[in-house]
C-alpha cells in the first residue's frame, strides 16, 4: 500500500509525463495513438469551397452545379462529424 505522499508524488510524475510526452503517456495508459487527421486549414478550405459552390449554384441555377455543391457540402459535414467523434473517443 502506498502512503498519501507517495500517491501525490506518483500523480505529479504522471502529470509531468503527460505534459512532456502525451503520446508516450497515452501508450503507457493502454490507449492507442492515432495519427492526426486533416488539419484545420484543410477543413476550412472545404467549408469555404462548399459555401461558394452553393452560392454559385443558387445564383446560376445550373443543375449539375447544384448537385456538385450538395455533394461537397455533405462531404464537409461528414468530415466534421467524424473528426468530432474521433476526438471524443
Q: What is the per-residue pLDDT across 63-82, written as a single tens digit (0 to 9) for each?
A: 898 898 889 888 888 877 87
pTM of the model: 0.47
Whether the CB-CB separation of 27 and 33 falls below 8 Å is answered with: yes
Q: Which of 58, 87, 20 is nearest to 12 (CA)?
A: 20
What are 61's three cell numbers? Answer: 441555377
Model confidence at 27, in pLDDT bands (50, 70, 90)? confident
- Burial (CB count within 10 angstroms: exposed 0-12, middle 13-18, buried 19+), residue 18: middle
What's the DSSP call for residue 1? -
Query: In the block, which residue shows the cell 467523434?
Result: 85
User: Chain centroid to CA 13: how far?
Assistant: 28
Residue 83 Ramachandran class (φ > 0 left, ψ -120 to 50 alpha, else beta): alpha
Amino acid at each position: 500500500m502506498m502512503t498519501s505522499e507517495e500517491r501525490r508524488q506518483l500523480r505529479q510524475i504522471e502529470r509531468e509525463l503527460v505534459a512532456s510526452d502525451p503520446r508516450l503517456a497515452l501508450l503507457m495508459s493502454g490507449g492507442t495513438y492515432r495519427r492526426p487527421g486533416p488539419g484545420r486549414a484543410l477543413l476550412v478550405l472545404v467549408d469555404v469551397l462548399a459555401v461558394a459552390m452553393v452560392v454559385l449554384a443558387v445564383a446560376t441555377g445550373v443543375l449539375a452545379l447544384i448537385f456538385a455543391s450538395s455533394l461537397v457540402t455533405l462531404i464537409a459535414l461528414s468530415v466534421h462529424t467524424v473528426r468530432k467523434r474521433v476526438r471524443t473517443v
